[in-house]
Homo-oligomer: A and B are copies of this chain.
Amino acid sequence: MGILVIGSIAFDSVETPFGKRNEVLGGSATFFSLSARFFDTVSIVACVGEDFPGRMLAMLRSKGIGIDGVEVLKGRTFRWKARYGADMNIARTLATHLNVFSEFVPKIPAHLAGARTLFLANIDPSLQDDVLRQVRRPRLVACDTMNFWITHKRKALRRLIRKVDIILLNDSEAKQLSGEENLLKAAKAIRRMGPEIIVIKKGEHGVLLSTRGSHLLAPAYLLESIRDPTGAGDSFAGGMLGYLGRHRRIDEQAVRRSVIYGTIVASFAVEDFSVRRLLTLRKSDIVNRYRDFCRITRF
């Protein structure tokens, strides 16, 4: 099988300068899988509470996403509440209720343990490591993380990232993890920690891809309106790993293009609240915007 993602399924309550939504579908595994599905088969390992509507799971399944690994646990679904100001690069978290997620011990169903590509979305690095040990021989392993784990679980995180091929993180996380203010130096320092491929996301300012002896600087796709940046990072990861996972040879060019596909899918995700835009998105939209991106970056 193709891609396995371990991450969250959540209810998000989000306020941006363009509106407000209450308890809408969110979570890293949700955004990732709805993005990766355009390129490869994808299954989720996650948990939801008893309050999670069956129609939402049915919706994910209708989009071709494997949900056999989604456990329904006693209690309430993970909830996150945040507000974005004029600078939409920064989310101000107002509340995080882990609920069922606080007790979650991910178990990979046997038929999913043969995934070729594994994405360890942003959860406790010890859990990410547990999952990694349950997957047999993934060809490609990528992880995300956040400032909280860098501060409070640094050892476990360092142990994990020794074993991954790709790490995705935003610019402030890269600086925090490496202790370097300069992004090129930060990328080099993180590469010395293990991963071959470092992806540093700078929100609306694009992305720095650092590979052995080379790097790519790519701008973000500029939109006239961004309604909700929630899920941009996971949609980026979905587009990137979806594209890369299908490649026979993971060479420099494939990695570079995968970063652009990540950029493109993320640019759709932020056009509307929650996963709304990802639900109406078609593969041809992605292809057309990729072509447009080529035009607006070539000189």
The residue that A222 contacts in the complex, of B217, B224, B295, with Cβ under 8 A, is B217
The residue that A202 contacts in the complex, of B205, B214, B225, with Cβ under 8 A, is B205
Question: Which residues from B are CB-within-8-Å of A253?
Answer: 299
A45 at the interface (CB under 8 A from B): no
Question: Which residues from B are CB-within-8-Å of A220?
Answer: 217
A185 to B219, CA, bound (A): 17
Q: What sequence of 0s and 1s flags, for each residue 208-252 of chain A, a beta carbon within 8 Å of any chain B beta carbon? A: 100000111111101111000000000000000000000000000
Contact B299 A217 (CB under 8 A): no
- Residue picked from A216, A223, A295, most chain B C-beta under 10 Å: A216
Question: Which residues from B are CB-within-8-Å of A105?
Answer: none
In the complex, what residue of chain B is closest to A182 when comparing beta carbons? B224
The residue that A218 contacts in the complex, of B183, B214, B297, with Cβ under 8 A, is B297
Interface of A is mostly: mixed
- Residue picked from A222, A259, A260, most chain B C-beta under 10 Å: A222
A117 to B202, CA, bound (A): 36
In the complex, what residue of chain B is closest to A203 when comparing beta carbons? B205
A287 at the interface (CB under 8 A from B): no
Q: What sequence of 0s and 1s flags, for each residue 175-205 of chain A, a beta carbon within 8 Å of any chain B beta carbon? A: 0000001111100000000000000001001
Kindly state the interface size class of chain A when it binds its partner.
20 to 34
- Residue picked from A86, A184, A253, A299, most chain B C-beta under 10 Å: A299
A257 at the interface (CB under 8 A from B): yes
With contacts A205-B206, A206-B205, A219-B217 taken as known, whether A224 is within 8 angstroms of B185 at the C-beta atoms is yes
In the complex, what residue of chain B is closest to A202 when comparing beta carbons? B205
In the complex, what residue of chain B is closest to A208 when comparing beta carbons? B222
A182 to B224, CA, bound (A): 6
Contact A206 B208 (CB under 8 A): no
- Residue picked from A215, A225, A260, A296, most chain B C-beta under 10 Å: A296
The residue that A214 contacts in the complex, of B208, B219, B296, with Cβ under 8 A, is B296
Contact B297 A217 (CB under 8 A): yes
- With A206-B219, A219-B219 given, can you name 15 additional A-B contacts, CB distance below 8 Å? A86-B181, A183-B222, A202-B205, A205-B205, A205-B206, A206-B217, A208-B222, A214-B295, A215-B296, A216-B297, A217-B220, A218-B297, A218-B299, A256-B299, A297-B297
Mark A residues whose CB is within 8 Å of B.
86, 181-185, 202, 205-206, 208, 214-220, 222-225, 253, 256-257, 259-260, 295-299
- Lowest 8 A-B CB distances belong to which pairs? A217-B219, A256-B299, A205-B205, A184-B224, A260-B299, A184-B222, A257-B299, A217-B296
